[in-house]
Amino acid sequence: MGVDVGAAVVTMADRAFLTRLRAGDGPSHRLLVLLDQHRVMTTGQLARVTDAPERTVRYRLERLREARLVDCVRPGRESGSAPRHWWLRPAGARMVAGTAAAEGKPAGMFVAHAAAITEVWLSLVEYGGSVGVTVESRLTDRAGWQGWDGTRPWSRRHRLTPDAVVRLALAGGESPAVLIEVDLASMTQTLLRQKVERYLAYAAARAWGGVFAQCPPLLLLTKTATRAATFVRTARSLLEQHERQYGGADPADEPVVAACGLVLEPARAVTEACWMLSDIAASEVTLREIWA
């Protein structure tokens, strides 16, 4: 006789496996927790986070898939050497979080975008130490969105929706936060401009007060240096308007916008001088210099 889990019949041989998962015990349960935290991760990313051989992680994921707790896809292709991108199915999400969205296969662009956000975080974790940076915490999607009310009683509530908010610990003792946007060349420059406008409204309202020690920089990782340069040119004109209206306040209030074209190589974005600031005539800088 079997047990019905997520519309699948689980044999007696799998009951002990599911019992351990429900108890939150073991490496397979940790994979579920990681997928709940990061939405989408590749097999290789899960192996790096858990410090386990990729073959072992692949085996555990296949067991979870057989139990209908996770699923996967290769964005853009269903076979070949492209990495598998994994996410929680409703039964898996209920097991670790108690709630779950409706069943369904996420769109290919969403899967690729979510995995790219995860790779940025992983690169900060793995390479940040070489530049004196430690990741303290990370929030993605709605968990990292910033909301604030308008200046008038009838104003609608405003919202800033970064892809991730990362809190860092620097070697000098500072603990800044950064707002991260990941662009796989799927957003128009108009949409990117709107993101800067919302960020500057957030800065002008000092909506970060009581949450962060200072206004967190907005960092865009996109696919090419040309695309990054176009973004910072647009940001420069908006920042100049912001400075004319709100300049002269505490330096902690100052908004900072930067971009680089290394979203597909985020390890280099963490360690190299590749970031363009709104003063595009200036030399490219490192992340450490942006935080300084």
**One-character DSSP codes across 138-154:** EEEGGGG-EEE--SSTT
Tell me, what's the pLDDT at 216?
95
Tell whether the model's pLDDT for residue 290 goes beyond 90.
no
Tell whether the model's pLDDT for residue 55 goes beyond 60.
yes
- Residue 196 CB burial class (10 angstroms; 0-12, 13-18, ≥19): buried
Residue whose entry in the numeric block shows the structure tokens 């509530």: 157
> Are residues 120 and 182 in contact, defined by beta-carbon separation less than 8 angstroms?
yes
- For the whole prediction, is pTM greater than 0.95? no
Average pLDDT over residues 166-173: 85
> Are residues 64 and 70 in contact, defined by beta-carbon separation less than 8 angstroms?
yes
Tell me, what's the pLDDT at 82?
74
Tell whether the model's pLDDT for residue 282 goes beyond 80.
no
H helix and E strand count, the chain: 10, 13
Task: Identify the band that residue 77 occupies on the pLDDT scale cut at 50, 70 and 90.
Answer: low
What is the average pLDDT value for the chain, to the nearest integer? 86
* φ, ψ (nearest 5 deg) of residue 138: -150, 135
Tell me, what's the pLDDT at 280?
59
Q: For the segment 177-233, what is each residue's pLDDT rounded down to a tens digit?
A: 999 999 999 999 999 999 999 999 999 999 999 899 899 999 999 999 999 999 999
Separation of alpha carbons 62 and 75, rounded Å: 18
Tell whether the model's pLDDT for residue 156 goes beyond 70.
no
Q: What percent of the chain has pLDDT over 90?
A: 60
At residue 173, the 3 state secondary structure works out as coil
Paired residues of 260 in beta bridges = 221
Tell me, what's the pLDDT at 246?
82
